[in-house]
Amino acid sequence: MKKISLLLGCWMGCAVALLAQGTTTAGIIPLPQKCTLQAGEFVVKAKTKIVLNPNNAQMQKAVTVMKDLLKTAAGFALPVSKKATDRNVIICTLNPNLKHDEAYKLWVQKDKITIEAKTPHGVFYAMQTLRQLLPPAIEKKTVQSAVKWTIPCLEIEDAPRYNYRGLHLDVGRHFMTQQEVMRYIDLLAYHKMNIFHWHLTDDQGWRIEIKKYPKLTKVGAWREQTKERTGELDSAGKYIAHWDNRPHGGFYTQAEVKEVIAYAQKRFVTVIPEIDMPGHSLAALAAYPKFSCSGGPFRVEGQWGIFEDIFCAGQDATFAFLEDILTEIIAIFPSPYIHIGGDEVPKTRWERCHACQTRMKELGIKGEHQLQSYFITRISMFLAAKGKSVIGWDEVLEGGLAPDVIVMSWRGIEGGIEAAEMQHNVIMTPRQYVYLDYAQDEASPAKRVLPLQKTYSYDPTPVELTPEEAQYILGVQGNVWTEHIPTFERVLYMAFPRAAAIAEVGWTQKEQKNFDNFKLRLQQIAAHYDAMGIQYYQP
């Protein structure tokens, strides 16, 4: 009870501080386009009704998360009614005249909450706004009988700046359970992000069942040892590492992946799988070495870095193998996008491979970078024929960019600029601003440090682009690579609150952003994090 009182005190204190500051924004992240606080409050009670117009499956999905939260924390389930009453009702209506598919309008009055949205996506985001405005105890997993479930009266008009607002999780280096991935998705949706980029394969582990090739998980999902750093530094300022000789691994069955996708769909989140090729493929080659240039043998790697053994580009059998895998991936994931990696591809093996060199001569290819472009183009054409668009890291620009490939610019902003100038769609994810495995404290001895304010300062649209070129910037994504993040608890500590800053970068108009105001609103959101049990970094 004492902890609940402290949470309520923090929540109310932040709300008072926001009002005292003269701001028109409640404690909401990301910041709405327009928000006007008013006097009074709406009280959610057991008799509160939700009215849906239209009352269909998608609209019901848009309110399910909120209903489930209230049922767990408040102990009552809000009924969905066909008719509106005069008092204590939440009315959700679709308005086709709103400009953006994810836009919503929200009016909270003492007796009524009204939501208008162009699509059910907007209704869901309005519900997430209400979730943030409710007392933090809404996040609790047991009934909080002493809490009064109030929402401050206000008016909001809101829509996102970018259509693509993503958060990435690498489970190839350290495996995260299905339940942990689902929790990550819920936090992503809580901040109105709409893309979960699931990095499923790498040199250190293959994490998804492929029925035609069972050794991918029987062999490729497990490594014998892992080289971990201790946290101590040597005389040269480098982290001291040692071998942890405990086996590490795990994978998701196709049934489990489908459950994750269904969970994400209830939160209007698209799940994009990443299947790495032609590099970062040692886990797959350990299982099926014949698709390499040398024939192996290989092991699932326990160290971090870039490794020379990659998929052979000279064998048609390699492409048949990868197309078989992607056929099963396509059948599982409804996402319009498939990420195929394409990053950090050493060409050493290709330079010495008779099959690869023969392929280059046959095609008139002058260098191995062009061979990589051929590889990416061949895979992207296969996926395009299946109705899927390819995303690749910015190395896919090397040797010539394959038609219609979406570039994920990670080494900086230059790759994004180059792709946009070529009229290719771009997702901005430069490591200098949005790599959440970087240290957060500027006093840290780590070489790569990314404080919250720098993440918040990022603008995904480079000033170098013309207005026409800027239209190819789809949005922004934060990335969590887990080489040195062995647990999900540590993932959350590294991701938050910087992921909240990325959410605001992707949603809020550039001219509206204000870091001091963000920090004040973050105090109120942090009270929700506390109730969720997240061990987050506190700047």
- Annotated catalytic sites, by residue? 202, 280, 344
The span from the CA of 102 to the CA of 89, in Å, is 23
Torsion angle, alpha carbons of 450, 392, 335, 283, to 10: -90
Tell me the sheet residues that pair with 90. 50, 113
Using the 8-state DSSP alphabet, how is residue 101 labeled?
Answer: T
Tell which residue, 303, 229, 239, has the closest CA to residue 447: 239
Euclidean distance between CA atoms 113 and 60, whole angstroms: 17
DSSP H/E element including 191: none
Report the C-alpha gap between 134 and 155 in whole angstroms.
15
Asked if residue 70 lies in contact with residue 149, where contact means CB atoms within 8 angstroms, the answer is: yes
- Cβ–Cβ under 8 Å, residues 370 and 317: no
Cross-strand bridge partners of residue 502? none
Could you tell me how many helices (H) and strands (E) the chain has, helices first?
18, 21
Q: At residue 172, what are phi and psi to the nearest 5 degrees? A: -75, -40
Tokens encoding 381: 């054409």
The DSSP element (H or E) to which 487 belongs, if any, is: none
Cα gap 311→279, rounded to integer Å: 7
Strand duo 34-43 + 150-158: pairing: antiparallel
Determine whether 7 is exposed, middle or buried from the number of CB atoms within 10 Å of its CB (0-12, 13-18, 19+).
Answer: buried
CA angle, 531 then 535 then 67, to 5°: 30
> Among 259, 180, 171, 258, which Cα is nearest to 217's?
171
